[in-house]
A and B are shown apart, each in its own frame.
Chain A
């Protein structure tokens, strides 16, 4: 039995095939090939320039995540997204992810809706719970409430998004009484597409399915097949709760680096990943696991254009997802190299992937 999904779902046109975009976590790290780190102002401006370039290359979406720890500078990610809204005209925009647990859902909606108006209806929200937790202390939250904060605030964000007036009471925020949260996006729903970010948790995938909300799943490494289990659980739970899972989109993301020669791509990108992981995560990226990226079945989309096309198509076979966003700038990749990857994406990879994923029916 299917019932109407109450959430504002992102719209995808199956005849256009898989949506492909890029995302950044706004990290601010030295280029391991030179040991130099660009000034913060330059990095932020280059994030904007990356989005503009992605639009020119015909990519579908640009996403920017919120991170508060050392080595990152997209803490005010909505502010940067507003600048990108002004600098672009067509490309879709999204946060990825907004840490809803430590934010006020009213303010998140106000900011994102404003960006939606600035960008003429191009804004989406991916809401997550943070893999790093320094922001709990920084913003005055108790880490013991990690799960409860996310669930309550995510539910409130959806409620604000789907209702012009909200009456609500919860544990972590003052009650709302017939509150009118403004501005409203200028579309039929008056709301924005809102995705639930998934980390490695099956429980979260199950909850997303139970709620009937779209999911955004980040992939770091390993066999692509493994991540399919979470997506399947999400769809099974959606069906079990009366939603038509075919109409709830799935988006995935992960590392991508394309060069004409596969080994050249690995030589260029591995130091960026490995050295930056040491700084941000305390440990480098296992070289054997990274080298497995040369196998079509690995989730790491690094290699020559044909290998990446084959990988994305294989992943699409496994996941039947609607969108994929690539992280092409992680770890101090200089802007000209970022642009080179975008060129290869736009000229060679995206057209092929879309050709084979576009549905004719």
Chain B
């Protein structure tokens, strides 16, 4: 383990999300719905030096493994990230993110006139494009700042 990764403490069981694009760590926490209120131990490194990325963010969450929905959305805003599942201080699984074909219930549509913003009993669904996502209902294409459209659970 390199020096810069030691800037945040090791965890015993949980998830380490590494190689997050610099500045996106707080959005990652938002996706996970982590705001500290549940008492879980969370370590965040932002803009730490990285051989591969120049600068990166890293998030370590004690006692939490990610659901597939969460991984899918992470892949949209942090496609270069790697997810390490930690058990007894060791990396038990290492996962590179793959972009899903669609994401359900995790992004809100920025089109105020979209039926998904009208209080109807329907989850948002977005098709994943090469360079963005597209609402399956109103067809609005979102290319920039996807993190701003994450529905925080």
A binds B: no
